[in-house]
């Protein structure tokens, strides 16, 4: 019996049922401080892949699975409904998008990499498996005018208005994820009000710098209005009356209502739109991509680089300044030539 065999029955690790291996993978994800949302996403995709293998009679020990099974699964996904198992309605009739299918492949490749690292397989057959191509979409972002219209729709003289005003400034100034924003405590505020300590994904902490205007609004809200909304003993900057942090759904609904109230058309007013907006405008204004990576708490620079695109108006402005044709001195020559020809 080799060292790869388990003591109980002489079964090699690669021959253990995938369900049992997935249970161990779940423990590994929990131990690595993955968020509950990320944990659920990985496991849902992997169980869906397992169901496909069982239903297609392709299920074998993990060391006998690889590229061919994944290819067949991708073909299967390309013809799948968006939400299998649900009663069809207008929102669920479409097929999975190319980006969603790419996400499935990412999750499966990550699992196979873990299998290799943990010794379930000797080689990773999916290490060089290419991700399915997905169209690159232009990220919709808010303009400065949009943000000013949102702020103008609020009454800063009321406690709720002052709180919502500060929430928008923080989202626009620091690109916070909503769980990060909701869980800011009074102790997370820098004594000099220059940074906010944020606990992000995987319980990783980072310092997010904030502007002078945002610092001023924090002081104003804390000193004049916060105690009108929440109990003094609550540790959270944005707390509900019961002292618990403001809910993620509450912020999402707030932004949606404000977007309608401000009359924003053609753009979704959501927490993620603010995050995209912060990142895009930070780079457009000359910010450094490595600094942006640290501010936003990205684990990989690759994630940050998706914000290096320019919006259509920025492209137009850049083209007007730097187009090779724009910089050719043809105007006078063309008029001169026309006169000579006549």
| CATH number of the domain within which 194 lies | 1.10.443.10
Whether residue 105 lies inside any domain: the answer is: yes
Residue after which a domain boundary falls, among 261, 279, 297: 279
Q: What pLDDT sits at residue 340?
A: 47
Q: How many domains does the chain have?
A: 2
- Cα 241 from chain centroid? 29
pLDDT tens for each residue of the chain, 342 residues long? 333 433 344 445 555 678 889 999 999 988 887 777 788 888 999 999 999 999 999 998 888 999 999 999 999 998 876 655 544 444 545 678 888 888 899 899 999 999 999 999 999 999 999 888 877 666 678 889 999 999 999 999 999 999 999 999 999 999 999 999 999 999 999 767 688 998 887 778 888 989 999 999 999 999 999 999 987 789 999 998 888 999 999 999 999 999 988 888 778 888 888 988 888 888 888 788 888 888 888 877 777 777 666 455 555 565 566 556 665 665 545 444 444 444
Give yes or no: residues 162 and 273 share one domain: yes
* Whether residue 47 lies in the annotated active site: no
Q: What pLDDT sits at residue 329?
A: 61
Q: What pLDDT sits at residue 136?
A: 66
Q: Count the helices and strands in the chain (H runs, E runs).
A: 15, 2
Where on the phi/psi map is residue 33: left (φ > 0), alpha (ψ -120 to 50), or beta?
left
Phi (first) and psi of residue 185, to 5 degrees: -105, 170
Give yes or no: residues 58 and 179 share one domain: no
Q: What pLDDT sits at residue 1?
A: 31
Give yes or no: residues 152 and 227 share one domain: yes
Distance CA 215, CA 193 (A): 6
**Cβ–Cβ < 8 Å for 263, 149:** yes
Q: What pLDDT sits at residue 331?
A: 54
Q: What pLDDT sits at residue 7?
A: 39
**Cβ–Cβ < 8 Å for 209, 197:** no
Where on the phi/psi map is residue 10: left (φ > 0), alpha (ψ -120 to 50), or beta?
left
CA torsion, points 85, 90, 91, 93, in degrees to nearest 10?
Answer: 50
Give yes or no: residues 166 and 206 share one domain: yes
H, E, C per residue of 21-76: HHHHHHHHHHHCCCCHHHHHHHHHHHHHHHHHHHHCCCCCCHHHCCHHHHHHHHHH
Q: What pLDDT sits at residue 272?
A: 87
Q: Which of 25, 120, 236, 307 is catalytic?
A: 307
Q: Residue 294 forms beta bridges with which residues?
A: none
Q: Which of 26, 48, 201, 220 is catalytic?
A: 201
Whether residue 126 lies inside any domain: the answer is: no
Helix (H) or strand (E) run with residue 209 in it: strand 205-209
Q: Which of 215, 226, 275, 276 is catalytic?
A: 275
Whether residue 335 lies inside any domain: the answer is: no
Give yes or no: residues 151 and 256 share one domain: yes
Query: What does the DSSP 8-state code read for residue 148?
Result: H
Give yes or no: residues 266 and 197 share one domain: yes
Whether residue 235 lies inside any domain: the answer is: yes
DSSP readout, 183-203? T-BGGGB-TTSSEEEEE-GGG
Q: Which of 48, 76, 206, 272 is catalytic?
A: 272
Give yes or no: residues 108 and 155 share one domain: no
Residues of the domain holding 53: 13-84+93-117
Whether residue 316 lies inside any domain: the answer is: no
* Whether residue 177 lies in the annotated active site: yes
Whether residue 208 lies inside any domain: the answer is: yes
Whether residue 39 lies inside any domain: the answer is: yes
Q: Which of 177, 226, 276, 293 is catalytic?
A: 177
Q: What pLDDT sits at residue 84?
A: 55
Nearest Cα to Cα of residue 180 among 109, 53, 54, 274: 274
Cα dihedral sign for 87, 90, 93, 97?
negative
* Whether residue 275 lies in the annotated active site: yes
Q: What's the Cα-to-Cα distance from 77 to each of 29, 38, 39, 53, 184, rounded to whole Å?
A: 25, 20, 21, 13, 40
Q: What pLDDT sits at residue 342?
A: 44
* Whether residue 272 lies in the annotated active site: yes
Give yes or no: residues 110 and 171 share one domain: no
Burial class (CB in 10 A: 0-12, 13-18, 19+), 109: middle
Give yes or no: residues 266 and 176 share one domain: yes
Residue after which a domain boundary falls, among 102, 117, 132: 117
Give yes or no: residues 167 and 109 share one domain: no
Give yes or no: residues 77 and 177 share one domain: no
Specify the CATH number for the domain of residue 23.
1.10.150.130
Give yes or no: residues 156 and 113 share one domain: no
Q: Which of 146, 276, 293, 298 is catalytic?
A: 298
pTM: 0.65
Nearest Cα to Cα of residue 78 among 132, 122, 24: 132
Give, to the nearest 10 degrees, the angle between helix 36-55 and helix 98-117. 90
Distance CA 142, CA 281 (A): 9
Whether residue 135 lies inside any domain: the answer is: no
CA atoms within 13 A on the CB side of 84: 12
Distance CA 226, CA 234 (A): 10
């Amino acid at each position: 019996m080799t060292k790869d065999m388990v003591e109980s029955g002489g079964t090699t690790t690669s021959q253990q049922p995938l369900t049992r291996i997935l249970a161990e993978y779940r423990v590994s994800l929990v131990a690595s401080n993955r968020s509950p949302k990320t944990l659920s996403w990985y496991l849902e995709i992997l169980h869906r892949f397992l169901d496909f293998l069982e239903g297609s009679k392709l299920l074998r020990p993990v060391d006998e699975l690889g590229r061919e099974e994944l290819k067949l699964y991708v073909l299967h996904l390309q013809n799948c409904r968006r939400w299998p198992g649900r009663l069809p309605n207008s929102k669920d009739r479409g097929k999975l998008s190319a980006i969603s299918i790419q996400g499935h492949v990412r999750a499966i490749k990550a699992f196979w990499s873990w299998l290799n690292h943990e010794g379930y397989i000797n080689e990773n057959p999916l290490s060089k498996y290419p991700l399915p191509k997905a169209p690159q979409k232009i990220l919709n972002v808010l303009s400065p005018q949009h943000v000013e219209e949102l702020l103008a729709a609020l009454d800063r003289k009321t406690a709720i208005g002052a709180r919502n005003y500060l929430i928008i400034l923080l989202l626009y100034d620091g690109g916070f994820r909503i769980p990060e924003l909701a869980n800011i405590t009074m102790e997370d505020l820098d004594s000099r009000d220059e940074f906010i300590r944020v606990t992000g994904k995987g319980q990783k902490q980072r310092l997010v710098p904030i502007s002078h205007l945002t610092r001023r609004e924090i002081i104003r809200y804390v000193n004049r209005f916060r105690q009108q909304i929440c109990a003094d003993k609550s540790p959270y900057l944005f707390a509900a009356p019961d002292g618990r942090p403001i809910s993620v759904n509450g912020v999402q609904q707030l932004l949606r209502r404000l977007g309608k109230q401000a009359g924003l058309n053609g753009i979704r007013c959501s927490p993620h739109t603010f995050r995209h907006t912060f990142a895009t405008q930070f780079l457009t204004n000359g910010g450094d991509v490595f600094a942006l990576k640290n501010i936003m708490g990205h684990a990989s620079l690759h994630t940050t680089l998706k914000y290096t695109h320019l919006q259509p108006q920025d492209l137009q402005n850049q083209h007007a300044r730097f187009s090779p044709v724009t910089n050719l001195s043809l105007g006078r020559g063309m008029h001169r030539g026309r006169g000579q020809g006549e």
